[in-house]
Amino acid sequence: MHQLYTYLAKHMPHIGVNAEVLESSLPDHVDAYTMFFKGGFLLLYSKTPLNEADLEIGLRFAQEFGFAYGRHLELSEKIRQNRALLVEGALERVRSRSLAMEGTDELGEVARTLFEEFNRVGLSVRQLSISVVEDDGDTLNWRAREDKGKQTVLAFRSTEVFREKFSGDTKAALEKGEPYLHTAWDKKL
């Protein structure tokens, strides 16, 4: 029994007691039953051995939990599928807005739609900046943001000043073909 209590204290620190305290608080004898269900098992600890009728009840509870876990998996899959549909719908709205463009001046509206759809799928984007690096090194930029419930889209061209700031990790990641670069800024910097 001491080995069991030492194991429990070591591998279950959330119970917050050491092996000696645990051992002193538990009975001298424990009957442990492992009740299997599809995908796992549950453990029953009893002060006395279980009779056949009680074992059958334990097995039924295990099977019921197996059913509950199966339901959990089904619901998780439905959530995943619904999220995928939500994302596909958002992508389709961005694609539709892109196809509806009649002039180059409407790219800002695509940026606005992209910003809206990021938030619609739950990414909670505060600001979206889009930069297109042209062959001559200049960048075309769009910024979409929401401020006090009002959305704004800014469009501007950057040249030398922006290229100097852009030249660090972002440029290196772009040249390497990385799919993304994560950078975090602290407000104090």
Read off the pLDDT of residues 3-18 as tens digits, 9 standing for 90 and up: 766 776 676 676 666 6
* 3-class state of residue 36 by DSSP: strand
Which pLDDT does position 61 carry in this prediction?
Answer: 95
Question: Which position has the higher pLDDT, 159 or 155?
Answer: 155
Answer with the residue of higher pLDDT: 122 or 2. 122
Nearest to 98 by CA among 82, 112, 81: 112
Among 43-52, 130-139, 156-165, which range has the highest average pLDDT?
43-52
- Would you say residue 161 has pLDDT above 70? no
Residue 119: pLDDT band with limits 50, 70, 90: confident
Q: Could you tell me which residue, 124 or 17, shows the higher pLDDT?
A: 124
| CA distances, 183 to each of 144, 168, 170 (Å) | 19, 12, 9
Is the pLDDT assigned to residue 89 strictly greater than 60? yes
Q: Mean pLDDT over residues 65-79, rounded?
A: 96
- What is the pLDDT of the chain when averaged over all its residues? 81
Q: Residue 34 pLDDT > 80, yes or no? A: yes
Q: How confident is the model at residue 22 (pLDDT cuts 50, 70, 90)?
A: low
pLDDT at 180 over 70: yes
What three-state secondary structure class fits 71? helix
Q: What are the two backbone dihedrals, phi and then psi, of residue 34, each rounded to the nearest 5 degrees?
A: -100, 115
**What burial class does residue 17 get, using C-beta atoms within 10 Å of its C-beta: 0-12 exposed, 13-18 middle, 19+ buried?**
middle
Q: Tell me how far apart the alpha carbons of residues 132 and 139 are, in angstroms, rounded to a whole number.
A: 5
Both structure tokens of 55: 């074992």
What size, in residues, is the chain? 189
Quick check: 160 pLDDT over 60? no
| Range 30-37 contact pairs with CB under 8 angstroms and sequence separation of 24 or more | 30/1, 30/4, 33/58, 35/59, 35/61, 35/62, 36/62, 37/62, 37/63, 37/65, 37/66, 37/69
Asked if residue 124 has pLDDT above 60, the reply is yes
